[in-house]
Each structure stands twice: as structure tokens, then as C-alpha cells.
Amino acid sequence: MSKSADFARRALSPASAFLLFSQSAIVVTGGAVRLTSSGLGCPTWPECVPGSYTPVPNQAEGQLHAWIEFGNRLLTFILVLSALITLIAVLKSGRRDLRILAGGQFLGIFAQGVLGGVTVLTNLNPFAVASHYLLSTILIAASVSLYTRRHIPCIKKSSNRQSDLFSRWHVVGAFIVVVLGTILTGAGPHAGDVDAPRIDLRIQTAALMHGLAVILLLLITVAFFRGDKTDHETKELLVKFFLISIAQGSIGFIQYLQGVPELLVAIHLLGAVLVWIGAWRIWLSVQRQGMDTAR
């Protein structure tokens, strides 16, 4: 192995870790934009205001809202740089099995930028906002896969059909919880702007749907854990997932009773990222075979 390839393989760990952190962080900062009603702090796109890519003095939206939204947009450039470094590390290391994941990250970030522009230009249409978040969910899953597979190839197990089915139900259940969470958000009060449209659905109904999906996911988690063919590594991940999900559900229930205060909503958003990462790691643990060194 050449020195450059060896360096690239060693660089892949910190590069993919920072990419995962960045993909997760931008979800939280995007939530901060919404919770501070700064979604239209920069009312146009790609410019912040007509004629300027940055906020301007005496902007009608207010300096605080403008700079919060502008700061969130700037994080996209950090994501692009992180994805580019990871892609170069993958290409130089000779890890052909990771090229689609790394390239998909790079392209997905640009797609996210375009979708963010659509979100602004549609005055924070709740379905555009939800799509924006769900694309981040997909990119987070891909970055988890990149980080997890940096040393180990993902080889599908063919001898454990029970765990394979459980892992599929589990990750699909987690994604349904996320989707219903975006619908609940779209029907709730934190739209990102006081004049933004909302989903025409009673928040009580949306909360009930979301809560029932969470209960179903927890039941799948318990059944998966009790499965006689579930290995030790997966069981450890399931325990962690269950505990995080219980904490997340408790926060969600408390914030609902308290009228969704901003701080609890922000914590719940971070928890949603952790729950999704946990679910995806469980799926990967079943898809991975042994500790074989990647080719």
C-alpha cells in the first residue's frame, strides 16, 4: 500500500466522524432557526436579501433573525468541505465499496441547499420544511454507514433471517416515527415564521399518531431483543436505543403538556437525531458480518 493510500485510510476515521457530526449539528441549528422564528430572516435565496448575499443593516426582518438564518446557511459550506475531504479520503484509500456513500453525501448536500431554497421561496411551506428535514435524516444514515464501515465492509448475513427481518421492521418503524414527527411539527406552533402556513391537522391528532408510532417502535425493540437469534452486539445496541427512546419519549410528552416550550423542543430535536442514529446502527450491526478487514 502506498504512503498516500495509507494516510487516506487513517484520515478516513476523523473525516467521516466530523461529517457525521456536521450532518447532525445542522439539523439542530436548523431547529434553532425555526424555534427563533428566523426561517425567513433571509427572505430570498441564494441571496439573503435582494442584491446582497449577507444580511444588511436595518433589514426589515431584524438583525437577530437575519444572522441566525445566515449563520445556518454558512454551515452548508462546512458540510461541503467535510464531504469533499471524506470523498477524497475514500478515493485515495482505494475503498471502492464506500464511493457511492461518499459521493452521495456530496451530492445530497447540494440537493439539500436547493431544497432549502425552495423552502424559503415557498414561505416555509410545512411540507417543504419536512422534506428538508427528511433529506437530512437520509444523509445522517449514510454518514453513519460511512463511519461504521470505515474499517469493516458491509456484508449481508444470509444465515439469520429472524434478525434480518427484525432489523428491517425496526429501522422502518424508526423512520415512520421521524416522518410523523415532522407532521406534528408542521401542525404545531413553531413554524419558523409567524406568517408561515401550517399543516391543517389538529395537533392532538398528530401527537396521538406520533405517540402510537413510538409505542409500536418500542414494542418492536423489545421483541427484537428477546429474539433467540439476536446476537450480543445487537442486543447491546438495542438496550441503548430503548433507553434513549424512553428518555426521548418522556421529553416529548412533557413538552406537549407544557405547550411545546422552545428549550424542550430543541432537546427533543437533538434526541430525534440520536434515536435515528441508534436505529440505523442497529440495522448496520445485523448487515455486518464479523470483523473482516476491508479490501
- Tally of CB atoms within 10 A around 109: 23
Same domain (yes/no): 216, 251: yes
C-alpha cell at 37: 422564528
- Tally of CB atoms within 10 A around 60: 9
Same domain (yes/no): 119, 91: yes
Distance between CA 191 and CA 168 in Å, rounded? 32
Per-residue model confidence (pLDDT) at position 179 = 97
Q: Which domain holds residue 179?
A: 155-295
Same domain (yes/no): 2, 121: yes
- For the chain, how far is it from start to end, CA to CA, in angstroms? 11
* Number of independent structural domains in the chain: 2
Choose the final residue of a domain: 118, 151, 184. 151
Same domain (yes/no): 278, 175: yes
Same domain (yes/no): 166, 289: yes
Per-residue model confidence (pLDDT) at position 153 = 63
Choose the final residue of a domain: 105, 120, 151. 151
Same domain (yes/no): 64, 184: no
Distance between CA 193 and CA 167 in Å, rounded? 38
Per-residue model confidence (pLDDT) at position 292 = 39
Four-residue CA torsion sign, 151, 156, 161, 165? positive
Same domain (yes/no): 94, 171: no
DSSP symbol at 52: B
Length in residues, the chain:
295
**3-state class of 49 per DSSP?**
strand
Distance between CA 128 and CA 124 in Å, rounded? 7
Same domain (yes/no): 262, 141: no
Question: Are 175 and 137 within 8 A, CB to CB?
Answer: yes
Same domain (yes/no): 51, 175: no
DSSP run (H or E) holding 10:
helix 3-35
Taking Cα atoms as reference points, which of 146, 152, 134, 149 lies closest to residue 20?
146
DSSP run (H or E) holding 30:
helix 3-35
Four-residue CA torsion sign, 112, 115, 121, 124? negative
Same domain (yes/no): 106, 247: no
Average pLDDT per block of 10 residues along the chain, 295 residues long: 76 94 92 82 85 84 83 89 94 89 92 89 90 95 93 60 90 97 90 80 94 97 90 93 97 93 92 97 79 39
Kindly report each contact of residues 157-165 with a partner whose C-beta sits within 8 Å and lies 24 or more positions away, as own/partner. 157/286, 157/287, 157/288, 157/289, 160/229, 160/231, 160/286, 162/227, 162/228, 162/229, 162/230, 163/224, 163/227, 163/229, 163/230, 163/231, 163/234, 163/286, 164/286
Q: What is the largest CA-CA distance in the chain?
A: 65
Strand partners, 49: 52
Q: Strand runs (DSSP E) across 23-162, as ranges?
A: none
Question: Are 230 and 261 within 8 A, CB to CB?
Answer: no
Instruction: Give the CA angle between residues 227, 219, 258 to the nearest 5°.
Output: 150
Distance between CA 161 and CA 283 in Å, rounded? 13
Same domain (yes/no): 82, 189: no
Distance between CA 15 and CA 167 in Å, rounded? 28
Per-residue model confidence (pLDDT) at position 155 = 55
Question: Are 57 and 184 within 8 A, CB to CB?
Answer: no
Per-residue model confidence (pLDDT) at position 237 = 96
Same domain (yes/no): 53, 19: yes
Choose the final residue of a domain: 94, 125, 151. 151
